[in-house]
């Protein structure tokens, strides 16, 4: 677990009244760094390898973005900030789960299960050559 990840997990636990520290933490998740170009984050497609998703660290955002490769080869991006109380959601078995109070979301950020009532913030995402381009203004 890297330092930034650890700090996020501690913050999430504090938000959840001490009950939210995930057993999995950041272990096993593939983090990549983005190259920032004004209001866009660029991620190399090669960084995905065979993975369906990566977590993207963007220096200007407090939590990473979740970038998912869809069946049709397109990509979708959502914030990992849970819309209930702000903990970091985690990829689990093909969808996203919040370790604090159990909210669940689809890979596109739609609510599957509460207590959250709101979808994750979404970011327009497109391909440009060897890069996945994420527009950093939530849509």
Binding positions for ligand FES, rule: CB under 6 A: 82, 84-87, 98, 100-103, 115-116
Looking at the Cβ atoms of 107 and 116, the one nearer to ligand FES is 116
Minimum distance from residue 9 beta carbon to ligand FES (Å): 13
Return phi, psi of residue 6, to 5°: -60, -45
Minimum distance from residue 25 beta carbon to ligand FES (Å): 16
Q: Kindly state the tokens that stand for 38.
A: 């004004």
Looking at the Cβ atoms of 86 and 119, the one nearer to ligand FES is 86
Minimum distance from residue 15 beta carbon to ligand FES (Å): 6
Looking at the Cβ atoms of 62 and 102, the one nearer to ligand FES is 102
C-alpha torsion angle, residues 73, 5, 123, 128 (rounded to 10): -50
Shortest CA distance to 74 belongs to which of 104, 52, 41? 52
Minimum distance from residue 119 beta carbon to ligand FES (Å): 13
What string of H, E and C letters represents the secondary structure of 50-88?
CCCEEEEECCCCCCCEEEEECCCCCEEEEECECCCCCCE
């Amino acid at each position: 677990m890297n330092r930034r990840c650890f700090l996020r997990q501690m913050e999430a636990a504090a938000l959840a009244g001490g009950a939210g520290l995930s057993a999995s933490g950041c272990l096993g998740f593939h983090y990549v760094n983005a190259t920032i170009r004004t209001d866009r984050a660029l991620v190399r497609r090669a960084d995905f390898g065979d993975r369906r998703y990566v977590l993207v660290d963007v220096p200007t955002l407090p939590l990473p973005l979740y970038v998912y490769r869809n069946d049709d080869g397109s990509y979708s991006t959502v914030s990992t900030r849970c819309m209930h109380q702000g903990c970091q959601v985690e990829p689990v078995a093909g969808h996203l789960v919040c370790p604090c109070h159990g909210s669940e979301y689809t890979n596109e950020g739609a609510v599957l299960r509460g207590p959250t009532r709101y979808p994750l913030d979404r970011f327009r995402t497109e391909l440009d050559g060897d890069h996945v381009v994420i527009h950093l203004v939530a849509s």
